[in-house]
Chains A and B, each alone.
Chain A
Amino acid sequence: MLGLPLSRTSIRLREMSLPTTILVSRQPLFQKMMLTHFRLAIAFSLVSIVTVRSAEPDRQPIDKPACLQITSAQDSSWRISRVWLEEMSQPVRRQDLSIEPSASCAATSCHGGPRPGIAEPLAVRGAEYPLWLENDPHAQSWRTLCSPTSLAMLERLNIMQSGKLVNAIAFDNCLACHNSTGGYEAASKLNHSKLNHSELNHSVFNAEGVGCANCHGRSQNWRSDHYRLQRDNASNAAIGLAPNKDLFVRARVCAACHIGDSDRDMNHDIIAAGHPALHYEFTTFHNMLPKHWRESERSATPDFEAKLWLAGQVAALDASLALLESRAAKSLSVGTWPEFAASDCSSCHQNLRIGARKYEADARGSANTFSTWNRFGVEQLLSQGFTQGNETPTTQKIALSLDHLSKLMSAGAIPEAAAVQVAAHNARIDLDAWLRHSASPEMLRFSASSLHRVAAIALADRDKLNSWEFTAQTYLAVIAARSSWMNSADTTALSDASQLRRALLFKPFTHSISLLDDPKREIQSATANLLKSLQPTANVQSPRDKTNSKSLRGEVEVLPPPALPSFPN
């Protein structure tokens, strides 16, 4: 088992009344867009035909393949290594996918059975296919791509002109996430007779959208025996079956589309044409996804959501680094660079106003800000001394690598692509090493109260709370840790969290010239209140943390003073 141990001794989480909906953008008038976003976002997520056997806990410690790392001391040099997360998510690489519709999994005796509870309640196989087909937005992702909204985007991007498909390569990039084909070329090879370049032919592409193969891997290699043979995760990954029982792998598989990967790139051109920007947070997405598997893992794992959060943050960073590396590499030949989608949207997309100031106090601000969304979790863990007492060189390395990359990306209007490529590549290797060598023991112990503390410290970081990305991620961390703070007697935290959520959503933009209200003010008071109500419980529940005063990057107040005097502009 390559991940988090599942335990039978479970603490069932209370039914949560707090909405876990994440807002998708800081921008007002984005409510409509958010709805679209969620439809798309969820449409990308897991489609699993996991057998119910998955509930069987696997108590093996983290067991990750040995790393073939040839490390050089030079930061700018190219290091060669296999990255565990990449290996585990190999089965969903595009070139490995085939046009094999999900219906092939849907035999009644396999995954197309009757609904649970109707018959055979104890069967290990079940109704994954019908559950997915009926409930899961991923089953609609092809329809999404064929909707008038999407067709208008395709026209804006010059992929279609007057209804005719004119740019197959660019269209291929859309198929990467909205369909389970190996790509446009693969489709055309298989369907010479059917493929008509002038239209989106439903019979050529899997009209179902994100099918089984997108999340579980190519089935040719294991279709005939996966119900008979027990393989370990590494072997499964090697033959093309993604070991999604491991939360890290699961989070990384989702991230391949929901963030991007070396073979999937939803870039700024596409966003400008109307596609929602991607803001992936695994806990939220996991909670919202209609499950086609039995969710006994939730009750079997203590602090399940905190662990989802951790896995999601690590996977997000890995996927975003892979994406950045490939973007930088492509820029050296043909691609677009700089890639604005790697930046914080709001660092550029803000109205000009008097007294505005960039929120990075040290940045002079001639360039845009490298997005912190996918770095948030790992950077918080590193700066808060997550692996304190365990400060191996790998811990320092990943911290330095991320710093270095961040500096490169913020160095000017056009970051140096070659340097970014190497830095992202190396950061990925460092993340992998950190994950396998330093962080593992801490991660096994990671609980809701650990996350509670992480969130409380983030809430006290007044400078960074100026960024919508940082604040929204902090809010989501608070929510993922709610089993810690919602048990406390102080229930004001709940209303404070709701207030913050409302503030982060903003009010819709109205065409009123008197609109001078700064929505930040509301966020400011909400974060201050939330911090106050979270602190006592964070204090009580993290006795170990009280001794923690050192972090990788110097002194960090464990629990900062409750009052937040002012919200920086």
Chain B
Amino acid sequence: MSMTFSDQELGFFAMPKLIIDPLYPLSNLPKSSSWKRVIALNVIAINIALVMALGTTMQPAHCQQKEALQSGLPGDAVLQAWGENSEVRKCGICHYVSGNAFARRDTDFCQLDEAQTWLQSDKHAVSRLRIEPLSQIELDEKKKEAIGDLLGESNLVSYRLCQQLGYDLATEKGYDQFRDNCLTCHAGYDPNQLTASDDFKRSNSHHPGISCNNCHQRGEASRWVDLHGGLSNDRPWRLLSPAEKEEAGLRDLMDAPSQAKLCTTCHIGDHERRMFITHEMYVAGHPPLPSFELQTYLSTLPPHWRNFNSTYASLEGFSQRAEYFAVNLAIPNEDIPRVMEDTFWETRTLLLGAMQAAEQSIALMADSNSNQHWGDYALYDCASCHHELRLPSFRQQRAAHEVPGRPRLPEWPTPLIEVALQLEHPASGVKEARGNLLSLINQTPFGNPKDCLQAARVLSEALKRSSVQLTRSSIEAEQARQVVKLLAHTSDDALLDYHAARQTIWAIQLVDRELAAKGHALRDSTRAAIKQLGTLGQQSFVSTELPAGRSGTLYTPAQATPGKEPLSYLAAELLRMRAYDPQKIRTQMRELCTQLD
């Protein structure tokens, strides 16, 4: 949904273009240079004056926007809803502007259109709106019209789901149940935080999705909000370590492990924050949680940040550029230029994301023991039970050391983990810990909770260690080529699962693209084989497409082929899962292997 809006429609978001660092605290001023302090104080004074002046114009604009809505003028209902959210409004003051000359002064670090990208193009911004049970969206016709196609099938699914689970949405209590179980992921509701709980009341629609702070703020500490902004580059905030920034409340999302940690809380689950889709919810209609590949997901969002390479380039004029990256990546200053130049960041994100995803799913299982979710089918691989019974069955091709007929741990992390483990030196014990856990789970269906918990913790620790090692390893052209090779040699066993195959194909395509972008392109024939792997389409029954953008949903009908009923993404995906044939992928993989050898 790429619409353009007039300033009037955008309301206050368009207003604060001129506001520059109004809250820059005196305490953080460099004490050594008094003349700088004077200039800074002057800037602050000017800013305050500007704010005061603008404050008067801001109010009418806001009212104007409301009036526009009431009179039925077309507007972006999502922006309007977020516009009433004070926290997001605050972020928008700086991050909802683009191309403003005055503001450009501080764009070495960021682009200042982050909120715009998020609110206009990112589906996370409407994730609550998408599942608001239909009867609860108490809107008049005009507003419904404004929301338009943002309401649809997913709201009905959610409504039925609440009915099945016994949430009485007519009451505040029923809505609170919905909030506690659904809005933790769908709107960032945190049961451990009380300050923002008003946003998640039944009548409040000012938090229609994931807000800026849901990701960027850790806990309730908000000191960082005042600390992080500012025009000048050379401020102490810039060179604070991620840990120090976290202490002020800014969540560290600089490097892949922490990004993956954040994403996987929702995309895999986290008992601590009540983010867990139970099997009961799935049965009631929640679509199956797809496999998660960090880099692919991040590039589909679309990203509202600069990656390492482009930040490094844009900070060319910044005298402390090396220190900045050194402190964030925990590597020596002198290595920075080479590391920034040579590292294959996307490949690195791919591998680190895979490690974190595996750790998160193991941790989810380990925590389930104490959360009375032990044995919840949702913790296991869907396809281990949900498949058509048939003979011959490719599932019977599994290695003989596994007991047939048992619920299996999610299989999709396996191929990428195996590759990541090949790159680590020295071995962190993941293999042994994983083998141990699998054999315990093989002993009896679901495994013995006590033993499995212990083994899962050991594995989780090993994965953590391994992840840290991998962070320090250099992932450069040589390793990237090795990754492609290892992925192409993924064992037949690991490709028995649809999602595992999809992860593998995503990974191969991604590394191939990065190799090409960095001038290390693989041979044309190899690239052709990789391309074919991704475009097997209906033949292979694996799709690497994801519904993208704010308008893309699981339920949006895909492009209809003539003569056939258009299928939604989800329906098509379920059909592909059903018809998946590992042999076709294997054949293609072997073809790729011969190209690589």
Measured CB to CB, the residues of A under 8 A from B are: 25, 27-30, 32-33, 155-158, 161, 267-274, 331, 335-340, 345, 348-354, 357-358, 364-366, 412-414, 509, 511-516
Given A30-B391, A161-B400, A340-B445, A414 and B405 contact (CB-CB distance below 8 Å): no
Cα distance A357–B568 when bound, in Å? 19
In the assembled complex, 10 residue pairs joining A and B whose CB atoms fall closer than 8 Å, in A order, are: A28-B390, A335-B444, A337-B444, A339-B445, A348-B385, A348-B386, A349-B388, A413-B446, A414-B445, A513-B579
Cα distance A415–B377 when bound, in Å? 13
Instruction: Mark contacts of B345-381 with chain A using CB atoms, 8 A cut-off: 1 yes-contact digit, 0 otherwise.
Output: 0000000000000000000000000000011110000
Instruction: Mark contacts of B376-415 with chain A using CB atoms, 8 A cut-off: 1 yes-contact digit, 0 otherwise.
Output: 1100001001111111010110101101111000000000
Given A273-B405, A366-B283, A513 and B386 contact (CB-CB distance below 8 Å): no
Contact A158 B401 (CB under 8 A): yes
Contact A351 B389 (CB under 8 A): no
Query: Given known contacts A161-B400, A350-B388, A352-B288, what 9 new A-B pairs fall within 8 Å (CB)?
Result: A29-B391, A268-B405, A338-B445, A349-B388, A352-B386, A357-B283, A364-B165, A413-B376, A513-B575
Which residues from chain A contact B278 at a C-beta distance below 8 Å?
366
Smallest CB-CB separation from B581: which chain A residue? A511
Cα distance A472–B396 when bound, in Å? 27
- Contact among B387, B400, B564 for A514, CB-based, below 8 A: B564
Contact A272 B288 (CB under 8 A): no
Contact A271 B279 (CB under 8 A): no
Which residues from chain A contact B284 at a C-beta distance below 8 Å?
364-365
- Contact among B280, B385, B571, B574 for A364, CB-based, below 8 A: B280
> What is the total number of residues of chain B having a CB less than 8 Å from a CB of chain A?
47
Cα distance A331–B541 when bound, in Å? 40
Cα distance A243–B387 when bound, in Å? 43
Expressed in whole angstroms, the minimum distance between the Cβ of A24 and any Cβ of chain B is 10
Given A156-B396, A354-B574, A366 and B405 contact (CB-CB distance below 8 Å): no
Which residues from chain A contact B375 at a C-beta distance below 8 Å?
412-414
Cα distance A486–B194 when bound, in Å? 72
Which residues from chain B contact A345 at a C-beta distance below 8 Å?
389
Expressed in whole angstroms, the minimum distance between the Cβ of A333 and any Cβ of chain B is 11
B336 contacts the other chain (CB 8 A): no
Which residues from chain B contact A335 at a C-beta distance below 8 Å?
444
Smallest CB-CB separation from B538: which chain A residue? A513
**What total of A-B pairs shows CB separation below 8 Å?**
127
Which residues from chain B contact A339 at a C-beta distance below 8 Å?
445
Contact A414 B446 (CB under 8 A): yes
B438 contacts the other chain (CB 8 A): no
Measured CB to CB, the residues of B under 8 A from A are: 164-166, 278-280, 283-284, 288, 374-377, 382, 385-391, 393, 395-396, 398, 400-401, 403-406, 444-446, 538, 541, 564, 568, 570-571, 574-579, 581
Cα distance A239–B578 when bound, in Å? 55
Which residues from chain B contact A358 at a C-beta distance below 8 Å?
283
Contact A352 B445 (CB under 8 A): no
Given A30-B391, A337-B445, A351-B574, A273 and B396 contact (CB-CB distance below 8 Å): yes
Cα distance A378–B317 when bound, in Å? 85
Given A349-B389, A354-B571, A413 and B377 contact (CB-CB distance below 8 Å): yes
Which residues from chain A contact B541 at a C-beta distance below 8 Å?
513
Contact B388 A29 (CB under 8 A): yes
Contact B164 A272 (CB under 8 A): no
Contact B390 A29 (CB under 8 A): yes
Contact A365 B578 (CB under 8 A): no
Contact B404 A350 (CB under 8 A): no
Cα distance A27–B389 when bound, in Å? 6
Closest 9 CB pairs of A and B: A272-B405, A272-B404, A365-B283, A413-B375, A366-B280, A29-B390, A348-B385, A27-B389, A414-B375
Smallest CB-CB separation from B584: which chain A residue? A511
- Contact among B165, B404, B578 for A351, CB-based, below 8 A: B578
Cα distance A528–B581 when bound, in Å? 37
Given A157-B404, A413-B377, A351 and B391 contact (CB-CB distance below 8 Å): no
Among A158, A270, A271, A358: residue with most chain B CB under 10 A: A158
Cα distance A349–B387 when bound, in Å? 5
Which residues from chain B contact A155 at a C-beta distance below 8 Å?
400
Which residues from chain A contact B391 at a C-beta distance below 8 Å?
29-30, 32-33, 274
Which residues from chain B contact A352 at a C-beta distance below 8 Å?
288, 382, 386, 574, 577-578
Among A337, A345, A354, A412: residue with most chain B CB under 10 A: A354
Given A354-B574, A364-B164, A269 and B404 contact (CB-CB distance below 8 Å): yes
Among B387, B396, B405: residue with most chain A CB under 10 A: B405
Which residues from chain A contact B401 at a C-beta distance below 8 Å?
158
Cα distance A33–B446 when bound, in Å? 28
Expressed in whole angstroms, the minimum distance between the Cβ of B293 and any Cβ of chain A is 20
Contact A269 B400 (CB under 8 A): no
Contact A158 B389 (CB under 8 A): no
- Contact among B386, B403, B445, B571 for A349, CB-based, below 8 A: B386
Cα distance A336–B164 when bound, in Å? 32
Cα distance A514–B400 when bound, in Å? 35
Contact A273 B574 (CB under 8 A): no
Contact A365 B376 (CB under 8 A): no
Expressed in whole angstroms, the minimum distance between the Cβ of B289 and any Cβ of chain A is 12
Among A157, A366, A512: residue with most chain B CB under 10 A: A366
Among A157, A414, A513: residue with most chain B CB under 10 A: A513
Which residues from chain B contact A357 at a C-beta distance below 8 Å?
283
Which residues from chain B contact A353 at a C-beta distance below 8 Å?
574
Which residues from chain B contact A27 at a C-beta distance below 8 Å?
388-390
Which residues from chain B contact A351 at a C-beta distance below 8 Å?
386-388, 574, 577-578
Cα distance A414–B368 when bound, in Å? 14
Which residues from chain A contact B386 at a C-beta distance below 8 Å?
348-352
Given A349-B389, A354-B574, A158 and B288 contact (CB-CB distance below 8 Å): no
Which residues from chain A contact B581 at a C-beta distance below 8 Å?
511
Expressed in whole angstroms, the minimum distance between the Cβ of A316 and any Cβ of chain B is 22
Smallest CB-CB separation from A149: which chain B residue? B391
Expressed in whole angstroms, the minimum distance between the Cβ of A86 and any Cβ of chain B is 28
- Contact among A161, A270, A349 for B385, CB-based, below 8 A: A349
Smallest CB-CB separation from A158: which chain B residue? B400
- Contact among B280, B390, B405 for A340, CB-based, below 8 A: B405
Cα distance A201–B361 when bound, in Å? 47
Cα distance A30–B386 when bound, in Å? 16
Given A345-B389, A349-B386, A513-B541, A158 and B403 contact (CB-CB distance below 8 Å): yes
Cα distance A509–B389 when bound, in Å? 10
Which residues from chain A contact B376 at a C-beta distance below 8 Å?
366, 413
Which residues from chain B contact A28 at a C-beta distance below 8 Å?
388, 390
Expressed in whole angstroms, the minimum distance between the Cβ of A269 and any Cβ of chain B is 4
Cα distance A375–B382 when bound, in Å? 28
Expressed in whole angstroms, the minimum distance between the Cβ of A557 and any Cβ of chain B is 28
Contact B389 A30 (CB under 8 A): yes
Cα distance A233–B164 when bound, in Å? 54
Given A158-B401, A364-B280, A25 and B446 contact (CB-CB distance below 8 Å): no
Contact B388 A364 (CB under 8 A): no
Contact A269 B280 (CB under 8 A): no
Cα distance A500–B575 when bound, in Å? 26
Cα distance A27–B393 when bound, in Å? 13
Expressed in whole angstroms, the minimum distance between the Cβ of A133 and any Cβ of chain B is 29
Given A349-B385, A349-B387, A509-B390, A365 and B574 contact (CB-CB distance below 8 Å): no
Contact A30 B404 (CB under 8 A): no
Given A353-B574, A513-B541, A156 and B164 contact (CB-CB distance below 8 Å): no
Which residues from chain B contact A161 at a C-beta distance below 8 Å?
400
Given A274-B391, A365-B280, A511-B581, A354 and B570 contact (CB-CB distance below 8 Å): yes
Cα distance A513–B579 when bound, in Å? 7
Cα distance A28–B284 when bound, in Å? 26
Expressed in whole angstroms, the minimum distance between the Cβ of B44 and any Cβ of chain A is 57
Which residues from chain A contact B575 at a C-beta distance below 8 Å?
513, 515-516
Contact B400 A336 (CB under 8 A): no
Which residues from chain B contact A349 at a C-beta distance below 8 Å?
385-389
Cα distance A155–B279 when bound, in Å? 33
Cα distance A126–B155 when bound, in Å? 74
